[in-house]
Amino acid sequence: MNDMTQSGDRLVVVSNRLPVVVKQVDGQWTFIPGSGGLVSALAPVLRNRGGIWIGWPGTSDADPATLSGLLREATRHSGYSLKPVALDQRDKEDFYYGFANEVIWPLFHDLQSHCNFAPRYWDAYNRVNRRFADVIMQNTRPGDFIWIHDYHLMSVGQELRAQGIAARMGFFLHIPFPPLDIYMKLPWRFPLLRALLEYDLLGFQTLRDRRNFLQCVRLIAPDLSVSGKGQVITIRVGNRELRVGTFPIGIDYQEFARGSKAEAVVRKARELHEDLPGRQVLLGVDRLDYTKGICHRFEAFRNALQRFPELHHRTTLIQVVVPSREDIPKYNALKMEMERLVGEINGQFTQSGWVPIHYIFRSLSRTELLAYYRACEIALITPLKDGMNLVAKEFCAATPENNSVLILSEFAGAAAQLQKGALLVNPYNVEEVAETIQRAIIMGPGERRARMHKLKRFVREYDIFWWVDSFLRAAIAKDLSNFPVPEE
């Protein structure tokens, strides 16, 4: 626990989504508490300090009275206060689907050809960011620390400054920050950078993201000066001074390690294995998203089956895709393309008793997810670009036997920390990925164990609690020399 965790300063967490989802089940409005690493790491801090979480409850349809009743109940349940920001249908379309997910999401993942730079999206972004700022202003007092999360809310800090906020503000970007040449495509590149410079602390996932950001800032601020060289540095732009750090996000390692040993998980993992006798099972688990490289992965698997016929009957790829953002045309097109490819590859190779790709399109229960992590020998995690990729870390934590292999894209933020234990690949190079699949399959137990030990050390040491703690310490520390760059 750090000084800030223990002090009387309240923490105000702000993210696009609240840590509960409000939805209708059998015609009745209800709330479902969020799980996820971020919620479990922040909840104790919020409870200790009496904090607040501000965000969108995930629906635009519930009437205000029902919504506030549900959030009062959710507040009692979680032990800290939940405050909603309302988004109407137009906000959902132009701010959430539009600016957040059709502009920033593809651009920051280096996929500018997927961008739709509709001018009305920028207006909606500013309008909704202002609305978040209004709700924050109504719910904060001097001395609070306001921690804003992710690409939906980059301009909230600027809106707060315009309203004369007295509290300190930090921002963490969960997704990558793109290189200069890509960032420059954004029609609103300069106002957005200026908005980011209004925070007191800015956090990125990796050193590369921070470097990219600083290169962009230099463009609008040739007078930029940088001091310090550790995990957190100080920059001065004009008369503003702020801290900029790298904070690779982690998971609740112990929770995954413990969970993977639960009886129900062990039983389910055994059943999965018995259904696939004599196979080495490869696993992919992703939200439906074109950044995850799922089609490239299928092509790489096809390439492996073509070039290494000894893999037939000996290996199966289980690909889990969790539905997401399906109202956006690119996501829907991706779903159709994935399903076409699975059909084509299975049609090409299936033989009696062996189907090469098992494709699952739904959310898994926690027990199922852990059982898949346990049952599969090789994780195939090949995003074209990813802020961090927590599936890679979860897989390592949930493999008690240390007999598994992690194949990981070099473009996942996690690659910086996990490069010594994982087999790194360029996801665009299907031949290289195919050869790496073959290499993983024949890798002996000694090398597997040695690699998994290295992976686990990082995942355990730099867990989600380290992440929260180091961000909050960076916000208040007098001396930044105690922030060595996280090991890579």
Binding site for ligand G6P (CB under 6 A): 17, 150, 174-175, 324-325
Residue found under tokens 């040993």: 261
- Cβ closest to ligand G6P, residue 16 vs residue 316: 16
Please classify residue 195 by burial: count the beta carbons closer than 10 Å to its beta carbon, then call 0-12 exposed, 13-18 middle and 19+ buried: buried
Asked about 77 being catalytic, the answer comes back as no
- Cβ closest to ligand G6P, residue 34 vs residue 486: 34
Smallest separation (angstroms) from ligand G6P to the CB of 16: 6
- Cβ closest to ligand G6P, residue 105 vs residue 183: 105
C-beta of residue 437 within 8 angstroms of C-beta of residue 282: yes
Smallest separation (angstroms) from ligand G6P to the CB of 98: 12
- Cβ closest to ligand G6P, residue 109 vs residue 268: 109
Amino acid at 264: A
The residue number whose beta carbon is nearest to ligand G6P equals 174
Catalytic residue among 9, 386, 463, 469: 386
Catalytic residue among 110, 114, 134, 174: 174
- Cβ closest to ligand G6P, residue 9 vs residue 150: 150
Asked about 275 being catalytic, the answer comes back as no
Question: Distance between CA 465 and CA 42 in Å, rounded?
Answer: 8
Question: Distance between CA 199 and CA 277 in Å, rounded?
Answer: 55
Smallest separation (angstroms) from ligand G6P to the CB of 404: 24
- Cβ closest to ligand G6P, residue 174 vs residue 460: 174
Amino acid at 398: A
Smallest separation (angstroms) from ligand G6P to the CB of 413: 11
Smallest separation (angstroms) from ligand G6P to the CB of 21: 10
DSSP one-letter string for 166-177: -SEEEEE--S--
Q: Where does 26-89 show beta strands of DSSP type E?
A: 28-33, 52-56, 81-84
In 3D space, the residue among 296, 380, 367, 390 whose CA is nearest the CA of residue 337 turns out to be: 296
Question: Distance between CA 156 and CA 196 in Å, rounded?
Answer: 9
Smallest separation (angstroms) from ligand G6P to the CB of 324: 5
Please classify residue 108 by burial: count the beta carbons closer than 10 Å to its beta carbon, then call 0-12 exposed, 13-18 middle and 19+ buried: buried
Residue found under tokens 């590149």: 189
CB within 8 A of 309, min separation 6: which ones? none
Q: Which active-site residues does the annotation give?
A: 174, 386
